[in-house]
């Protein structure tokens, strides 16, 4: 089936977090796409509705098989049913993992810039945030291994909260980069919690490596978190998975989840997850090729009209990290200027100090909306 990603679907007045305006502002911020979900997902919801009985529901073997097959066929990650736990979201799982691996006052290492809840959840869990700035090398981010090791040692870090692929920088960390992180964590007995929610949005020319495929012999200290919601643009459904290979860790996570009855998803999430992993590949392939075109369009537009913005081409996902320092010297003023031109981007500073005078733009929308949004960015930064 051919999907039409050019279609502009009115999302106003739906409770959408992204489309929250009274006027005609174009939202190029929060990480959801404006595209309609895959037909198989809509069909799976309709099937439940037609059946009409919405009682207590558990995971089926068919669901486990769908998850296992998706991850083994795409990434060579071998999972069994016993390695998979369910959680309402990756962010709630981050908190759960912090509970598991830390005590109040412990140090947690994160990179800067980083997806904001890495910081907020660490603080809310009573832990110290230790951040290691990513280094920009040839237009892309790299880990600063010496800094990471020094900070782990100095602060007796207990957990490295890793974002792979990275949000907001769009890096898909290579096997060698991840092995280097593994080695340093092993040396100091640091647990690794790998947020892999952007895994399936890896763009052409790059290869996603699940952290668990490298964790041989260290599996008692590695947990990965992922979800079908980002991949298939169904964040409103809520649902995610926790993968862990070590039996004792699985048991501990499971016990933690039972404290608050957080181990179950709703009926729709189970059905949608199964159908997405069984039959959503076709939609995903088309969505990714549309996104790649939008990324090219954005980079070309900015090179022509706003040549002093330094663009980090993403290796995964539809979020592009823009260095706008040539166009302002105050984060709030920059953000407000764009809002005044009726376009919203994420202010980079919300992702850490490294985000100073940077902006994150979301290009997962129809081409016509994107073009209008880019014109407004130009209007705000050049024409005003």
Ligand X SMILES: Cc1ncc(COP(=O)(O)O)c(C=O)c1O
95 secondary structure, DSSP code = H
E-state strands within 234-317: 240-244, 310-312
Judged by beta carbon, residue 77 or residue 235, the one nearer ligand X is: 235
Q: What does the angle CA 251 – CA 257 – CA 260 come to, to the nearest 5 degrees?
A: 145
Cα–Cα distance measured from residue 319 to residue 307, given in angstroms and rounded to the nearest whole number: 19
Name the residue with the smallest CB distance to ligand X: 89
Q: Which of 227, 231, 233, 298 binds ligand X (CB under 6 A)?
A: 227
Q: Residue 372: is it exposed, middle or buried by C-beta count within 10 angstroms (0-12/13-18/19+)?
A: middle
Q: Is 297 exposed, middle or buried (0-12, 13-18, 19+ CB in 10 A)?
A: middle
**Using rule CB under 6 A, residue 348 touches ligand X:** no
Say whether residue 341 binds ligand X (CB under 6 A).
no
* C-beta of 31 vs 157, nearer to ligand X: 31
**Residues 243, 167: Cα–Cα separation, whole Å:** 20
Nearest C-alpha neighbor of 345 from the set 105, 121, 18? 18
Q: At its nearest, how many Å lie between ligand X and the CB of residue 33?
A: 11
Near ligand X by CB under 6 A, which window of 20-28, 72-80, 87-95, 307-315?
87-95
x/- map, 29-58, ligand X, by CB under 6 A: --x---------------------------
Straight-line distance from the first to the last Cα atom of the chain, in angstroms, rounded to the nearest whole number: 44
Instruction: Determine if 167 is a binding residue for ligand X (CB under 6 A).
Output: yes
195 binds ligand X (CB under 6 A): yes
Considering beta carbons, is residue 131 or 240 the nearer one to ligand X? 240
Considering the complex, state which of residue 245 and residue 360 has its C-beta at the smaller distance from ligand X.
360
In the stretch 101-130, what mask flags binding to ligand X with x, by CB under 6 A? --------------x---------------
Is residue 257 part of the contact set for ligand X (CB under 6 A)? no
- Name the strand (E) or helix (H) holding 343: strand 343-344
Is-contact 25 12, C-beta < 8 A? Answer: no
Examine residue 163 and tell whether it contacts ligand X (CB under 6 A). yes
Contact call for residue 134 and ligand X (CB under 6 A): no
**Site residues (vs ligand X, CB under 6 A):** 31, 89-91, 115, 163, 167, 195, 197, 227, 229, 235, 240
């Amino acid at each position: 089936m051919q999907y039409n990603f050019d279609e502009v679907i009115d999302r106003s007045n739906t409770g959408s977090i992204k489309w929250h305006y009274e006027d005609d502002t174009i939202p190029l911020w929060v990480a959801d796409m404006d595209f309609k979900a895959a037909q198989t997902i809509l069909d799976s919801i309709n099937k439940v509705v037609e059946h009409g009985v919405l009682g207590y529901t558990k995971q089926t073997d068919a669901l486990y098989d769908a998850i296992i097959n998706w991850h083994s066929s795409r990434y060579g990650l071998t999972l069994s049913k016993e390695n998979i736990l369910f959680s309402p979201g990756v962010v709630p799982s981050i908190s759960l993992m912090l509970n598991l691996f830390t005590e109040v006052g412990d140090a947690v290492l994160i990179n800067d810039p980083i997806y904001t809840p890495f910081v907020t959840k660490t603080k809310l869990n009573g832990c110290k945030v230790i951040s290691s700035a990513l280094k920009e090398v040839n237009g892309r981010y790299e880990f600063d291994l010496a800094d990471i090791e020094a900070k782990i040692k100095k602060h007796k870090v207990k957990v490295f909260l890793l974002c792979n692929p990275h949000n907001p920088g769009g890096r898909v960390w290579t096997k060698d980069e991840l092995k280097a992180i593994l080695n340093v964590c092993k040396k100091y007995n640091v647990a690794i919690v790998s947020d892999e929610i952007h895994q399936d949005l890896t763009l052409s020319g790059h290869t996603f490596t699940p952290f668990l495929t490298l964790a041989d012999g260290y599996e008692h200290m590695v947990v990965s978190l992922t979800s079908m919601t980002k991949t298939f643009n169904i964040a409103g459904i809520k649902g995610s998975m926790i993968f862990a290979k070590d039996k004792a860790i699985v048991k501990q996570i499971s016990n933690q989840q039972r404290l608050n009855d957080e181990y179950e998803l709703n009926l729709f999430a189970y059905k949608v997850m199964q159908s997405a992993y069984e039959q959503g590949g076709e939609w995903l392939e088309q969505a990714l090729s549309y996104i790649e075109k939008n990324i090219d369009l954005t980079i070309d537009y900015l090179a022509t009209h706003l040549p002093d913005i330094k663009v980090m081409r993403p290796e995964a996902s539809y979020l592009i990290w823009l260095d706008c320092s040539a166009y302002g010297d105050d984060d709030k003023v920059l953000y407000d200027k764009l809002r005044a031109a009726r376009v919203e981007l994420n202010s980079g500073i919300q992702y850490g100090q490294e985000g100073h005078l940077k902006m994150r733009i979301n290009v997962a929308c129809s081409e016509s909306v994107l073009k209008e949004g880019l014109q407004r960015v130009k209007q705000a930064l050049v024409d005003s």
